[in-house]
Amino acid sequence: MDAPVETLFEALVDLRARARDVPAFQRVTISDLVDDGFVATMHEHYGGRDVRVVSRFQYERPRLLSYEHLDGPHGRNRGTFTIVDDGTRRILRQVHETEQDVSHGTALRADWLELMDQLLASIKRDAEARAA
C-alpha cells in the first residue's frame, strides 16, 4: 500500500470509515475505548441477512490489530491484521479464523470472499487518500 505505516494503521482502526465505504457495514458503534483497543458493535448485511456483531479490538501501534467476536450469529471468529514494511511498500496481512463454513462449494463462501475483498480495498483506499 502506498501510505506510511502510521497512516495505514489509522485507516485500519477507523471502523466508522468502513461503515461509510463497505456496503455490508450498515453502522458501527465504538465503546469501551482504551489506550490499546475498543469494542465495536457492527450492524452488517451479510450472508443474505442483517446481523449484529460485537467484537473486541486490541492493537499494538502502529503494526498490529487483533479482534475477536464477543457476540454474533456466526460462532467464534478472531483474527489479526499485521502491517509489514519491506522498505519499499507497506503490506497488510490478515489472518481470520472462523467457525463459519466458508469452504469451497458453500453458499456463504462467495459472500465472505466479497466482504473480505471490499474490506481490504476500503482500507487501502482510505490509507492512500489520507497519505495524499
* Res 67: pLDDT: 95
Terminal C-alpha separation, the chain:
12
Helix (H) or strand (E) holding 78: strand 77-85
Residue 58: predicted pLDDT: 97
Query: How would CATH label the architecture of 5-131?
Result: 2-Layer Sandwich (3.30)
Domain spans of the chain, in order of start? 5-131
| pTM (2 d.p.) | 0.88
Give me the tens of pLDDT residue by residue for the chain, a chain 132 residues long: 889 999 999 999 999 999 999 988 899 999 999 999 999 999 988 778 898 999 999 999 999 999 999 988 777 889 999 999 988 889 999 998 887 777 888 877 888 888 889 999 999 999 999 999
